[in-house]
Amino acid sequence: MLNFTSTKDLQVRRLLGGGPHSRVYLASTVSAPSHSPFALKVVPLASATRPHSHCIEERKLLQELTHPGVVRLVHSFEDCQRLYLLLEFAPGGQLLSRIPVRGMSAEVGRFYVSEVVLVLEYLHGESVMHRDLKPENVLIGADGHIKVTDFGTAKRTEERSFSFCGTAEYLAPEVVMRKGHGAAVDWWAVGILLYELLTGKPPFQAATPYALYTSILTTAVAYPAHLSNSAKTLISALLEKDAGCRLGSKAGAEEVKRHPFFTNVAWKRLEDRTESPPWVPVLRNAQDTGYFQDAAQLEAVLEGF
């Protein structure tokens, strides 16, 4: 049981990733440096775009969520400037790094998307919307199974939210229009995710934010010839621009799981994590970070705080 309240009790080893509002490092405790490491997420407690309440909400959610497909919060503390979240380390890196240039096979994509569906089934059952589901926020554990992370924009509510949040290429039309949104935004994100897994790129891309948002609102998805009919119909149903008609908006995950694309999925085995994953990271030791980008490269692209 960890009970320290200072960074002096931690040994930071290297940068793993992050973004405009956080940094994530590989870290271990000073008292037991050889034990399993943690992913240390460091978040400023307040900024112009992320108030203190958002940080506290993220910690609160992580303390309450218990699912094998959700990254586990081990310990947290704060000082006058930052919140520190010690999370379980997923050494397989981001799902993004597993996507080939032309996309992965339907069998491999089905495995990862199926595990994401189970995570959303759990989150939505807890009245939690993730709201920033993307390959960068799906990690792969040492056993090859996924861990959804980054709950910085997640929200627990049964009401509509009017926040403009998420990653541009993954934003649902109702978020772009700022008309209020519910859990259906996560099912839209699953559609984008599956398309990217199977083709190597998201379906909506543009040179400017305005052009991208216009495409999301008005453009029909173009499907490569190699995609199966079941994959195309699933993606189409998830990328329904009318949130009320979108697959998953009425009966949730059960509605999604009944789609023909998932016909041969062993849901119980996936829930129990006894289904063999398509890839398991080969690790030299518990602190192996070989599946993460080079730290110098990350420093060059991440914004400071």
Active site residue 132: yes
Q: Which of 132, 143, 186, 294 is catalytic?
A: 132
Given its phi and psi angles, is residue 86 left (phi above 0), alpha (psi -120 to 50 degrees) or beta? Answer: beta
Which amino acids are annotated catalytic? 132
